[in-house]
Structure formats: structure tokens, C-alpha cells
Chains A and B, each alone.
Chain A
């Protein structure tokens, strides 16, 4: 039997014994766990100040900063709001605002 690993952000559905792997093994990715809901503060990148050094990308522990078209882009589905990126940005290009709700 081949164990199918799903590297997407959908939860794994186990409906019965037939869906269980023959040995304890991961079937799915933690991407299904949207940790963005943990956030109290939301970091926001000011692209006018950004010099594309990617220090923020380098230090994000999730990682929740992607590189899109040579720019750092925060993925708010996963960003936990630790503000390490804001602290380390050499240009102070990352501000933050209180998360609503």
C-alpha cells in the first residue's frame, strides 16, 4: 500500500479503517492549521521603504513571509504576529496595527 501524503492546506478526512495508514505515518500537512488566527498584531510592510534585503524573510520562524516577484510578502493565513520581522528590518519598513475582533 502506498501512503499518500497531501501537502496542501486541506484537513485529512479519516472516515473509517480504510483511510488509515498501515503504520503510524503522517498523511497531511500542518498547512491546514491556519495560525494567522493566533495574531494580536498585524505586521504591515511599507514597500516604499523596503530595500528587498529579505532579512524579514530570513528570520520568520513560521515561515510566513514569501518571496513573490522579488518582494517579501506576508502570508496572513499563517503569520502569528511575533514582530521579529519588524524588529530586524534595517529600514523600519515593517509597521504594525492591532488586529481587529
Chain B
């Protein structure tokens, strides 16, 4: 028997995520690699609900529920407290949604990153505020429907480039990952676990409920996002050394990715072409930085 990711499970079934939730799969992988000697800081987001109501948990490690904007600062505080107690080896993960990271939590992350606090920040990006009913965030891609960007006024403007913002802090480790490529994600988790200082992982986590697709396609979409260059997989060491961890030989047209998702159903040919051009341009910029 050959398994490509660690066999043992820390997260238990029985949790409250929707069928086919990419975010719950991401946590399963993260805990496999980080292990029992880990503490989580989770702000308001789907995961604050997924874990289960008091007195229950599904993560099986200490989880601190914190306010929407405070995932990073709470993780820094937990780490500082552990250090004072001499528990230097305990890993601390801030695990937050895109709203809690790209939007309201931005100043707290920036502070923790600038201080180079020894924590791992993982954003599971489902590209909107899902927990409160699918409102747009600054991680929502151009063209997408959400309840606050209805079809007639779909989201205009690109997704905020959070990875570049984090790299600009010159933190030791920044990476993108997708739940469709768990081996790659686990390698990056391993690196984050073994690196001192502030680590940032941007995990694409498809959400059938918010993206309006059949839950069976979660992995398909998580892979297509990479294969279309919409979400390239790469890592950045010390904020300057870029390395692509998954090379895409021939990128697939973005249409392949969009067609499964109800949130893009309204887009016409020319709007899809605009999307395609934007992706190609973006990827071109990234390519100039790759080593």
C-alpha cells in the first residue's frame, strides 16, 4: 500500500461543513502534517461553525475561537504565551477565510508578518464571505456573481494579490496551494512547520455552496484552477526567491474552469475573453519572477 500523504487522521468526521467542502479538506491535510502538538486560532468564518458547537470539536487540537479581524494577532499571542511557558515546540496556526485575511484581518496579519512572529498563517480561500451568505470579498474574482454583486452588477476588478502583499513583508516563507494537489500542499505545510518566523499559505478551497456547482467537482475545480493558470502553484522564499512547484505544460482555457460554476453562468464570450487575457497577463508577470 502506497499513500502519497500521511495516513493518520487528526480531524474527525461528524463536522458541519457542507457536502464537498474544500475548506474542510484543507484542514484535514493541514492537521495531518502539523500533528497533535498544534494550536489553532480561528476567527469568524465557515470554520468557526464547521468545528462544531460547544462542548464538541472535530479538530482534536486546542482551537481558540477569535474575533473576525484577529486571527493573526491571536496566534501571535498564543505563541508568546507558549514561549513563556517553555513550550517552544508547539506549532501555532492562524486559520482564516479570505474575508478575515484579505479584508478585515489585513492589518493584524501585516503586523504579525512585520514582527516575523513564529506562526503559520493559512487562508482557505473560497473567494467570498460564505459563512454569512456569499457576499463578495476582495478575493472574489472578476466576473463572479455573489449576493452583493448580483448578475447585473457582477464583481468588477481583479482579485487582490495577497501573496505579493505578504512577500513584500520579506517573510521567510510564502506559498500558494490547492486542495486538488494535496501532495504539493503537504510539502509546503512541512516546510512551513520547519521554518522559523512568519509563514503564509494561500490555499484555494472550492466551495460548492457559494460557487454554485455540484459538490462532486470540488477536486476537479481545484485542479482546473491550477491547470488554467488561474491559480498557479508556487512558493517564495524570503519574499524574493520565486519557485514554481507545479509546472503547467499547456494551460487549459479558462472556459473549462468557469463552465462548471453557476457564479460565472452569466458571462458572455467577450467577458470570458477578458478573463482569459487577464489570466495570461497575470501569469506573464509571475513568469518574469520565477527562478
Chain A residues close to B by CB (< 8 Å): 7, 9, 12, 14, 21, 24-35, 38, 52, 54, 57-64, 67, 70, 75, 77-78, 80-84, 86-88
- A61-B3 in contact (CB<8A): no
- A67-B55 in contact (CB<8A): no
- B19-A26 in contact (CB<8A): no
A-B contact pairs, 24 of them (CB 8 A): A7-B60, A9-B14, A28-B56, A29-B14, A30-B13, A30-B52, A32-B56, A33-B15, A33-B16, A33-B52, A33-B56, A34-B14, A54-B3, A57-B3, A58-B3, A62-B13, A62-B15, A64-B13, A67-B7, A83-B215, A83-B216, A84-B219, A87-B217, A87-B220
- Which residues in B have their C-beta under 8 angstroms from that of A80? 19-20
| Shortest distance between the CB of A36 and any CB in chain B (Å) | 9
Judge whether B9 is part of the interface by a CB distance below 8 angstroms. yes
Q: Is the interface of A mostly helix, strand, loop or mixed?
A: loop
Chain B residues close to A by CB (< 8 Å): 1, 3-5, 7, 9, 11-17, 19-22, 24-25, 28, 51-52, 54-58, 60, 62-63, 182, 208, 214-220
- Which residues in B have their C-beta under 8 angstroms from that of A83? 20, 214-216
Question: Which residue of A7, A24, A70 is within 8 Å of B1 (Cβ)?
Answer: A70
Question: Which residue of A30, A54, A86 is within 8 Å of B15 (Cβ)?
Answer: A30
Question: Which residue of A30, A35, A63 is within 8 Å of B9 (Cβ)?
Answer: A63
- Which residues in B have their C-beta under 8 angstroms from that of A31? 12-14
Nearest residue, chain B, Cβ from A35: B14
- Which residues in A have their C-beta under 8 angstroms from that of B219? 59, 84, 87-88
A-B interface pairs (CB < 8 A), number? 114
- A28-B55 in contact (CB<8A): yes
- Which residues in B have their C-beta under 8 angstroms from that of A64? 13
Nearest residue, chain B, Cβ from A75: B13
- B52-A81 in contact (CB<8A): no
- A29-B12 in contact (CB<8A): yes
- Which residues in A have their C-beta under 8 angstroms from that of B217? 87
- Which residues in A have their C-beta under 8 angstroms from that of B214? 83
Q: What is the CA–CA distance of A29 and B15 in the complex, to the nearest angstrom?
A: 9
- Which residues in B have their C-beta under 8 angstroms from that of A25? 55, 62
14 extra A-B contacts, CB within 8 A, seeds A7-B12, A58-B4, A83-B215: A9-B14, A27-B55, A29-B12, A29-B56, A30-B51, A59-B25, A59-B219, A61-B20, A62-B13, A63-B28, A67-B1, A78-B13, A80-B19, A84-B218
- A86-B12 in contact (CB<8A): no
- A61-B54 in contact (CB<8A): no
Closest 7 CB pairs of A and B: A78-B13, A82-B20, A26-B57, A30-B14, A30-B58, A83-B216, A82-B19
